Chains A and B, each alone.
Chain A
Amino acid sequence: MKSYDPRINRLNLPKEENKEKALTPQENWATFEVFHQKKRGEQHVHVGIVHAPDPDIALLFAKEQFGRRRVTANLWVVKSSEIHASDYDDQDIFSTTPEKTYREASDYYVMDRIRKYQQAHGIEDRKELKRKKP
């Protein structure tokens, strides 16, 4: 095997795979979920995972992987197995939310009632008064 790369030629690479040298299970360690804060004052947002043996190394890898090309203020890592998530199969538990329009500012209308009252009691509308001023 003759490579264009002199460094590779110096490695004296074996031609065939040595099956005993395959990676063993867990050799790449556990996974940590990474949360990235772009700048102070913003939320931390989930951006992906890293493999690491402990939280310190997870932070080091997260810095390389997620802080290398992006503006970054802060990172969190948490072991994947420590995350408790709701089940997508139960997504319908959230589906009543849009019906609760009484929680939305846009669901309140008062002007019709005010105008009706003003007309009945001879109160001149403030906006009308403003318009009349020279």
Chain B
Amino acid sequence: MVPGFDPHNGRPEMYGNAYIETTPKTAGKSLTENEDPVKLAEFEARIAHGEKIEPQDWMPAEYRKQLIRMIEQHAHSEIIGALPEGTWITRAPGFRRKLALMAKVQDEVGHAQLLYSAAETLGKPREDMINDLISGKSKYSNVFNYPAETWADTAIIAWLIDAGAIINQVANSKGSYGPYCRALERICTEESFHLKYGHDNVVYLATGTQVQREMVQDALNRWWPPIMHFFGPSDKISVHTETLMKWKVKMASNDDMRQKFLDEYVPKIWDLGLTIPDPDLKKNEETGKWEYTEPDWEEFKRVINGDGPCNKERLAVRRKAEEKGAWVRRALIHDNEQYSIPLA
């Protein structure tokens, strides 16, 4: 256990799975204590019928809070996720790969815009979200606190991290909040190119020279632990988690998503003759579940709380970008503008 860190005491945690706080400060109390029981029943009936919730609808305070948190952190993950790959644009091998990488990085930033907009419909202005990102108050997916050391790292990120993200996003696109679902559908369509592009890059290296094969194997060795962290630790099943699942905020357990990822991608990695750096990784044919060495959750928590190899660099780069653009943005502000929450 990391000193001072209790995973169940309600401190902000960042789970790669669904960016959800599974143990809020109100732990022990009912999530809906102060809610109007009639409105709550209508709200829950609507979700049970498979209908979507729209921004103008009544919703429990905790539903709004968890969604803002989840969508905002997802947006941050897209915008920060553009950095480790963006690093390699100038050194991409060949023009086709350079163009494809630029398109992918631009997509990621576009995804952040779509997600910030979805979060904004719940009442948090975008300026507040960006301030919470650059001050370190709000989290983003932990994997982006690791560096892309070689070109092969960008290939592994584009293939396997994006694969993990797609599994997560496809699940969440069946959630209950209309604007988030709409954004995710569009995002998933674009991600399919990222996945193919990443796979193509990995296959090229894995079927190449001895040096190229070693390069991609090294990258896989470096990225396997963050990939296993990506979906977050096993959920603690609580009344709170059950409520979030009933409200279709959380769509699947962290372990279920990790199993789905392993099921789909371990065979594809093995197809290339690459070695996954976990000697205990195997599918239990009786249970149908993958068995693996438990990832180092101490490291996960340490990195989330700021002590990863790139946390400082990522936030400093983002902060610098905001600072450099400030004079342009401020010059174009209209003094008599009234803030209006976007509709959808």
Residues of A participating in the B interface, judged by any CB pair closer than 8 Å = 1, 3-5, 7-8, 11, 13-15, 17-19, 21-31, 33, 46, 48-51, 53-54, 57, 64-65, 68-69, 79-81, 83, 85, 87-89
Contacts and interface: CB of A to CB of B under 8 A. Distances in A.
Interface residues of B, number: 50
14 contacts: A4-B147, A13-B313, A15-B312, A18-B319, A25-B127, A26-B337, A27-B127, A30-B337, A31-B120, A53-B332, A53-B334, A65-B110, A65-B114, A81-B338
Contact of B316 (A4, A14, A48): A14
Nearest to A12: B320
Contacts of B339: 25-26, 30
A81 B149 contact: no
Given A31-B340, A68-B106, A8 B57 contact: no
Nearest to B132: A22
A21 B319 contact: yes
Nearest to B117: A49
Contacts of A49: 117, 120, 342-344
Binding site secondary structure of chain A: loop
B141 to A, nearest CB: 19
Given A28-B126, A81-B338, A87-B56, A17 B136 contact: yes
A92 to B, nearest CB: 12
Contacts of B320: 11, 13
Interface in B114-164: 114, 117, 120, 125-127, 130-131, 134-136, 147-149
A14 B332 CA distance: 27
Given A11-B320, A23-B127, A48-B114, A29 B329 contact: yes
Contacts, number: 120
A97 B332 CA distance: 47
A37 to B, nearest CB: 17
Given A65-B113, A88-B54, A88-B57, A81 B344 contact: no
Interface of B: 54, 56-58, 87, 90, 106-107, 110, 113-114, 117, 120, 125-127, 130-131, 134-136, 147-149, 182-183, 190, 312-313, 315-317, 319-320, 322-323, 326, 329-330, 332-334, 337-344
Contact of B333 (A8, A17, A27): A27
Nearest to B121: A49
B326 A27 contact: yes
A17 B127 contact: no
